[in-house]
C-alpha cells in the first residue's frame, strides 16, 4: 500500500505497509560508528547557528541551556510585563484570543486560560513530525524566548529544554498549521510540557506526557502563568524547523544530483566545453561557477570524455561531436538555481532562528521607565513559505533534468552509442532498464503538480480575524514530498549511468574514468551488480534509493 509522507523517509518507506520496518539492503560489513559527542548549546537569542540545527537534525544528542544573561533579562521583562498589564488591555494576557479578543480575562482565570489555550489549539492531525524536527523546534522556541521580548519566565524556556535534554519528544501532528503561526503543533508541545494529555515519545515508548515525563526524571506537571501559553503557540518555529530540515535534505540531494550528472557525462563521453570556467565566470553567478568547478573536479583525469574516448565505440564511423544537448550544456546553470535558492533560504532561516516571532511582544518604553506591550503580526511565515515554494520549484526542475538525462541513456542515438535500453546480453531478448527509467518518468508529473506554490492560495479563517494566511506549512510539506520523489529519480539516474559505463567498459580498456566518478561507480557496485540478462529490478532500484537516502553517493569534492 502506498502512502504519502513528508518526513524524509524516501520512497522505500512509502512503499511499505504502514508500521512495517524498512529492511536495509545487504551490504558489506562496516566498522561501528563512534557515538556522536553531545552538542552543548547556550542559548542567548542571538547566536544560534544553522550548523547546530543540522547537527540536531542528524540525531546528535543535545544539552541546551539558557545563558545567565538571557535568564536575567527574561526575569526583568516578565516583571515589566506584569506591571504593564495594570494599564494595558493585551491580547492573550488579559484578553481572549482570535474572534473573542475583546473579551477580558480576569487574574483569577489566568492559569486556567493557559491550559485552555493549549487544549483548544492542539487540534492537529496526521503523521507526527520527525523526532529530530520536534527537538529542533523546541530549541528554536526556547532560543527565541531567550531574547526576552515574550514576557515569559525563564522557567518556561527551561521546561521545553528539559524535555529535549531528557530525550522526551512531544508528538506534533503535521496537519493544521496554515503557516500564519504554528498554533496546532506548538500547542501539542505546550500541552505535553505542562504534563497534559498530549502524547510524547520516550525511549521507544509512547503515551500521555503525564505518564512519561516522570519516567524521564521530569516533574509531572508544570504550571503556566498569565500570558505564557500564547508565546508557546504563537510564531512560526515549527515551520522554521521543518524548512531547515528541508534545506538540509535538499543540500545533500543537490550534491548527489551533481554526482549523478558527472556519472552521466562519463557514460555519454560528454564534451568538457560545457564546464569551461571562462563560460561560467562570464555569467557572473557565483553558484554557477562553484557547480562547474565541482563538476570539473569530479571528471578530472577522465579519458572517456576525450576524442579518443568518443571514438572507441565506433571508430569506422566516428565524427567529432560539436556540442551536447541543452540538458547537458545547461546543467551547471540549472544546478546553480537550486544552490542560489538554498543560500537565500539559509540566510532567512538564520535570521528567523534568532528573532522574536510572537504576538504580542514586550519592550522597554522609549521614554521614561517601565515596559509596554506591542501587538503586531511578525509571527507570519510568508517569507519562509515563499522560499519553500521557490525551493520546491528548483527541486522539481532538478527532477525533470535528471529524468531527461536518464531517458537519454536509453537511446543509442541520444547516448552516442550505448546499447538500446541499456540492455545487457542480447537486446530484444533482454529489455534492459526501460521500465526502471519509467519509474522516474512516473514521478516527475507528481513533482510538477506538488511544486505549485501553496503560498498563493490564501483563504480567510476565524471570522475574518485571520483574513490572510500564508499556507506555508502546506508549502513545506509539498517540498518534503518532492524531496522524497527526487531521491528516487536520482537513484534511477545513478543506476542507469553506472549501467551505461559498465556496458561499454570493455571497449574503453586503458582509458580511466575521473577519480571521483570512479569512486561513485565503485560505491554503487558494492551494493548492486551490473545488469546482464534481465532480472527482477524492484529490489535493485529500492537499494539504489536506499543508497541515495543514506548519502552513500555524495561525491567527495570540496564545497
**CATH number for the domain including 96?**
1.10.275.10
The total number of structural domains in the chain stands at 2
In a domain, 559, yes or no: no
In a domain, 143, yes or no: yes
In a domain, 29, yes or no: no
Among residues 221, 243, 265, the one where a domain terminates is 243
All residues at 6 or more sequence positions from 371 whose CB lies less than 8 Å from its CB, including other chains: 77, 80, 81, 83, 84, 362, 363, 364, 365
- Contact predicate 62/41, CB 8 Å: yes
pLDDT at 94: 79
- Contact predicate 242/473, CB 8 Å: yes
Whether 84 and 193 map to the same domain: the answer is: yes
| Calpha distance 334→328 (Å, rounded) | 10
All residues at 6 or more sequence positions from 62 whose CB lies less than 8 Å from its CB, including other chains: 38, 39, 41, 56, 135, 139, 164, 165
The residue written with cell numbers 565503485 in the block is 522
Among residues 226, 243, 260, the one where a domain terminates is 243
Q: Grid coordinates representing 252?
A: 545533500
Whether 326 and 253 map to the same domain: the answer is: yes
In a domain, 4, yes or no: no
Whether 239 and 259 map to the same domain: the answer is: no
Whether 143 and 237 map to the same domain: the answer is: yes
Whether 146 and 199 map to the same domain: the answer is: yes
In a domain, 1, yes or no: no
Whether 233 and 251 map to the same domain: the answer is: no
Burial bucket for residue 201 (CB in 10 Å: 0-12, 13-18, 19+): middle
| Calpha distance 73→272 (Å, rounded) | 59
pLDDT at 175: 87
In a domain, 27, yes or no: no
Q: Which of 476, 475, 482 is nearest to 400 (CA)?
A: 482
159-193 burial, b at 16+ Cβ within 10 Å, e below that, comes to bbbbbbbbebbbbbbbebbbbbbbbbbbbbbbbbb
Q: Where are the alpha helices (DSSP H) in 505-537?
A: 515-525
In a domain, 21, yes or no: no
- Contact predicate 101/91, CB 8 Å: yes
pTM above 0.95? no
Q: Which of 543, 548, 16 is nearest to 256 (CA)?
A: 548
In a domain, 554, yes or no: no
CA 80 to chain centre: 39
Whether 207 and 267 map to the same domain: the answer is: no
Q: What are phi and psi of 226, to 5 degrees?
A: -50, 130
- Contact predicate 182/144, CB 8 Å: no
Whether 466 and 489 map to the same domain: the answer is: yes
Q: How many helices (H) and strands (E) does the chain have?
A: 20, 9
Whether 205 and 295 map to the same domain: the answer is: no
CATH at residue 378: 1.20.200.10
pLDDT at 120: 87
Among residues 243, 272, 292, the one where a domain terminates is 243
Whether 209 and 294 map to the same domain: the answer is: no
pLDDT at 161: 98
| Calpha distance 179→237 (Å, rounded) | 10
pLDDT at 519: 96
Task: Indicate the Cα dihedral angle 103, 104, 108, 110, nearest 10°.
Answer: 80
Whether 239 and 288 map to the same domain: the answer is: no
Q: Grid coordinates representing 464?
A: 475574518
The residue written with cell numbers 554503487 in the block is 524
**Residues of the domain holding 217:** 10-15+34-243
Whether 173 and 260 map to the same domain: the answer is: no
- Run means of pLDDT, 10 residues per run, the chain, 559 residues: 35 37 50 76 96 95 97 96 89 76 80 89 90 97 97 97 97 83 89 93 94 96 94 92 97 97 96 92 94 96 93 85 88 96 97 92 85 84 91 97 95 91 90 94 95 76 63 90 97 97 94 96 96 94 96 88
CA 244 to chain centre: 6
pLDDT at 18: 30
pLDDT at 464: 58
Find the angle CA(242)-CA(248)-CA(250) to the nearest 5 degrees. 100
Amino acid at each position: 500500500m502506498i502512502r504519502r509522507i513528508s518526513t524524509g523517509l524516501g520512497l522505500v518507506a512509502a512503499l511499505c505497509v504502514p508500521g512495517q520496518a524498512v529492511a536495509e539492503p545487504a551490504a558489506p560489513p562496516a566498522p561501528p560508528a563512534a557515538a556522536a559527542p553531545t552538542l552543548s548549546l547556550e542559548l542567548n537569542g542571538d547566536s544560534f547557528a544553522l550548523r547546530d540545527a543540522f547537527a540536531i537534525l542528524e540525531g546528535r544528542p543535545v544539552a541546551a541551556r539558557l545563558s545567565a544573561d538571557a535568564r536575567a533579562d527574561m526575569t526583568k521583562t516578565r516583571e515589566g510585563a506584569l506591571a504593564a498589564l495594570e494599564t494595558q488591555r493585551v491580547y492573550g494576557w488579559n484578553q481572549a484570543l482570535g474572534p473573542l479578543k475583546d473579551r477580558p480575562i480576569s487574574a483569577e482565570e489566568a492559569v486556567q486560560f493557559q491550559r485552555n489555550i493549549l487544549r483548544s489549539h492542539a487540534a492537529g492531525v496526521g503523521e507526527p513530525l520527525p523526532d529530530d524536527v520536534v527537538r529542533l523546534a523546541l530549541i528554536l522556541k526556547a532560543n527565541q524566548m531567550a531574547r526576552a521580548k515574550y514576557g515569559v519566565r525563564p522557567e518556561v524556556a527551561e521546561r521545553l529544554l528539559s524535555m529535549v535534554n531528557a530525550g522526551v519528544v512531544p508528538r506534533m501532528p503535521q496537519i493544521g498549521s496554515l503557516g500564519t503561526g504554528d498554533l496546532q503543533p506548538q500547542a501539542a508541545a505546550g500541552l505535553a510540557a505542562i504534563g497534559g494529555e498530549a502524547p510524547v515519545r520516550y525511549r521507544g515508548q509512547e503515551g500521555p506526557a503525564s505518564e512519561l515525563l516522570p519516567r524521564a526524571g521530569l516533574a509531572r506537571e508544570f504550571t503556566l502563568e498569565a500570558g505564557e501559553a500564547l508565546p508557546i503557540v504563537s510564531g512560526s518555529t515549527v515551520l522554521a524547523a521543518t524548512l531547515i530540515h528541508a534545506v538540509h535534505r535538499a543540500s545533500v540531494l543537490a550534491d548527489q544530483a551533481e554526482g549523478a550528472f558527472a556519472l552521466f557525462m562519463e557514460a555519454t563521453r560528454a564534451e568538457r566545453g560545457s564546464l569551461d570556467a571562462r563560460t561560467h565566470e562570464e555569467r557572473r553567478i557565483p553558484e554557477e561557477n562553484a557547480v562547474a568547478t565541482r563538476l570539473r573536479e569530479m571528471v578530472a583525469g577522465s579519458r572517456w570524455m576525450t576524442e579518443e574516448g568518443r571514438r572507441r565505440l565506433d571508430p569506422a564511423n566516428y565524427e567529432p561531436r560539436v556540442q551536447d544537448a541543452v540538458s547537458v550544456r545547461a546543467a551547471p546553470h540549472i544546478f546553480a538555481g537550486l544552490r542560489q535558492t538554498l543560500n537565500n533560504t539559509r540566510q532567512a532561516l538564520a535570521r528567523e532562528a534568532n528573532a522574536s516571532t510572537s504576538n504580542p511582544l514586550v519592550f522597554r518604553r522609549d521614554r521614561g521607565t517601565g515596559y509596554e506591550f506591542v501587538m503586531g503580526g511578525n509571527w507570519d511565515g510568508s517569507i519562509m513559505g515563499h522560499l519553500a515554494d521557490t525551493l520546491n520549484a528548483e527541486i522539481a526542475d532538478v527532477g525533470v533534468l535528471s529524468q531527461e538525462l536518464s531517458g537519454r541513456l536509453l537511446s543509442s542515438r541520444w547516448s552516442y552509442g550505448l546499447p538500446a535500453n541499456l540492455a545487457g546480453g542480447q537486446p530484444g531478448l533482454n529489455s534492459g532498464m526501460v521500465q526502471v527509467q519509467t519509474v522516474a518518468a512516473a514521478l516527475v508529473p507528481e513533482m510538477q503538480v506538488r511544486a505549485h506554490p501553496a503560498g498563493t492560495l490564501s483563504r480567510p479563517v476565524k471570522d475574518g480575524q485571520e483574513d490572510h494566511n500564508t499556507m506555508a506549512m502546506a508549502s513545506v510539506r509539498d517540498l518534503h514530498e518532492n524531496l522524497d520523489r527526487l531521491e528516487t529519480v536520482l537513484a534511477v539516474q545513478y543506476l542507469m549511468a553506472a549501467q551505461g559505463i559498465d556496458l561499454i567498459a570493455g571497449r574503453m580498456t586503458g582509458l580511466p574514468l575521473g577519480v571521483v566518478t570512479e569512486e561513485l561507480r565503485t560505491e554503487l557496485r558494492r551494493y548492486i551488480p551490473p545488469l546482464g540478462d534481465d532480472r527482477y529490478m524492484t529490489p535493485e532500484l529500492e537499494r539504489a534509493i536506499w543508497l541515495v537516502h543514506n548519502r552513500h553517493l555524495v561525491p567527495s569534492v570540496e564545497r
